[in-house]
Every structure is written in C-alpha cells, then in structure tokens.
Amino acid sequence: DCKKNMSLPASLGDRRLVTSYVSSELEARRLLVAAKPPEREPGVPSTTAALRAVNRELEAALETAMLASYDTIACELDGTTYFVKRQPKRVARPVSTEAVARAFDGVTAGAVRAKRKEAPTLGPIDTIVACMVDEMNFDTDLWTTCARMVLDTAGVRTKKVAAMPGSDGKVRIMPATAEIVGLARRQLQLKGARTNAVAASRESRQRAQQLRKSSAAYADDLMRVVAVEEQRGRQVVHEDASGTRAKLSVAERQVSAKSITVPMLAKGGLLKKVAAASIDTTVYGDDPVRFITPEVRDALVSAFRAFEVEHKKANATVVRSLKVRALPGRKAGATAAPVTGKAHSSRGSTGSLYGLE
C-alpha cells in the first residue's frame, strides 16, 4: 500500500538543485539574522529614532536662528567648525486627473506668451505642456517635501533669509549655544554608531546577497521542478542530515504599475502625448493661447484618464518567486531522512523529501 502512494522520484540533477537552493537560502537567512544589531533594552530608543529626535531639535534651533535673520549656526567641536544646514528634498506624489485639470486651469495667456518668449523654438503643444509642468511643479499636493539636518564643515556661501534693512547683505552666522553644541555632538555620535554598525554587518550582508544571487540563476529550473511535483500531488520538502526541514514552493504576487508622477509626465514625454491626443491644431491653429478653452480642458482630462487606465493595465505584472518555508524538525527518536538524495514518501503522506547529496 505504501508503494501505491509513492510517486516516481525526481532526477538526480533536480534533487541537487533543490538541495543547493534551499541550503543557500537558509544560510543567507542565518547571515542576515546575525547581521542584525543586538536587542535594545526596554525603553531605549533605536539609533534611528534617537537621530530623528536630535535632528528635530536641530531644525527647531535653525528655524529660530533664521527668524532672527541668521543664515546658519556655527558649532565648534574638537577644533572643527561645523555649520548647521538643512538639505531639502522633494519626493513626487501620484498625479490625479484633478491635478491635471488644476494645472491646465492655472495656465494663463500671459504665462503662455512668456514661455514662448523664453523658449521660442518650442512648438505650440510643447509650449502648453511646459506651462502645465510649471504649474505642477508648484502644486504642493503633488510633492512631499522633507529635509535632512546636516553638519557641514563648508560655510554658507549664499543668504538663506532676507537681508535686514540697513544690513550689508552678507551671510550672518550665529554662534551655537551650549545646548546646540550638545545636539551637534550627539548627532555626530549617533551617525558614527550607525556607520560602525553597518560596517560590522557588511560582510554578512554581502555574503547573503551573493548566495541569493548565485541561486537565482536556477530559479526557472526550480519552478519547473516544483510544478512537476505539484502535478504529481507531492510537495518539495528538503531535509538535511541535522534534521532541518524546509518546504520549497512557488509564490505569485501582483505588482501594480508605478504611479504617474510629474517627472514621468515631463521627462518621459507622457504629458505631451496626452496633450497631442487632446488638441486638434487644425481647429485651434498654432497659437497655444487659443488652446485655453473649456473644450480642450475636458478633452485633456478625458485623455489623461484613459491613459492612466491603459498605463495601469499595461504595466501591472505578476511576479513569480521561490519561497522557502521552514518546517518543524523531526521529533526526538524519529528516523532521520536518508542522506542519499533520493525523493521518498512516508506512509500516509504525499510529500516528497529531498536529502543532501
């Protein structure tokens, strides 16, 4: 009866692939776990959280200094002068049909004429698109602004705040208070600790990455092995000489298309395609000022909505990947799996077992 429940064993090459892949993945996970920082004591914030808190205080101090018309704060630390600076960063957010409508509504005849004077070589559609991009660049709903607080040894060369009446217009530097010096020192310490932690775990992380990269070359072959075994009603289960067991399977996940953003519309030429499909120059002529009509607005919004739907459908993908799931080890006293590498089934089980070669 036991033999009736057994399927034909997989080929020797397939067994070796399974053993190699699962062993490499388990070793990569072990390396990544070892690379993690040690557990913190209860109530002690992480380095990242502590650094974020310090940066908030430094940003508040810089804001106070700027309200007093100072451009930066100078901190003396161990014979080195550091200047407190804020490095702003903008992150693009998804563009909606409403944002496209707002951008078109913001375009005026004066803005179009100014753009044509600024860039006379632009065609009529390019001109209206450039004006819309300008509107989108200033639309706060389409951008998330964040800032990094840095301590830089290079001084501030240009003014960051308006010059005070009667001043010479030069950069004003505020000497740091003892509290700000303490914050600056704390930031350098936290950044140093984070750098050291990353350096200490770099070798383990790189080794784990190499293991996964080398194993990924055989992913397609392994997916085929899993598919064949599943058709036979069998699970691919790896077990090594120590009794460590893991199941190999194929996972699928739906990956949505990337959101449409202002850089994608501007640099990728997507907004121009939408505008070209919406504006009939045989009707409106070559003067972009004549494009500013409710009819063109409605056509533009409609074309963008259709493009958005098409973009989502065309760029959505299904990603198939191999999944290794650890299984409970054998109980004490149980018969260990053979290490000959042959696939076999236990009585009453439909799972296949791959031992070490």
Region of 164 (left: φ > 0; alpha: ψ -120 to 50; beta: rest) is beta
pLDDT of residue 113: 94
For β-strands 173-175 and 72-77, DSSP reports them as: parallel
Strands of 143-186 (E only): list them: 143-152, 173-175
DSSP assignment letter at 4: G
Show Cβ contacts of residue 133 under 8 Å, excluding neighbours closer than 6 positions: 103, 262, 265, 266, 271
Distance CA 296, CA 281 (A): 11
User: Which residues face 86 on adjacent strands?
Assistant: 149
- Retrieve residue 47's tokens: 């380095």
pLDDT of residue 241: 81
Cα angle value 333/335/341 (rounded, 5°):
145
Q: Over its length of 357 residues, how does the chain's per-residue pLDDT go in tens digits?
A: 333 323 333 577 888 888 899 999 999 999 999 888 877 777 778 888 999 999 999 999 999 999 988 999 999 999 999 999 988 889 999 999 999 999 999 999 999 999 999 999 999 999 999 999 999 999 999 999 888 899 999 988 888 887 766 667 788 999 999 999 999 999 999 999 999 988 989 999 999 999 999 999 989 999 998 898 888 888 888 888 888 888 999 999 999 999 999 999 998 789 999 999 999 888 888 889 999 999 999 999 999 999 999 999 999 999 999 999 988 866 444 444 433 333 333 333 344 455 433
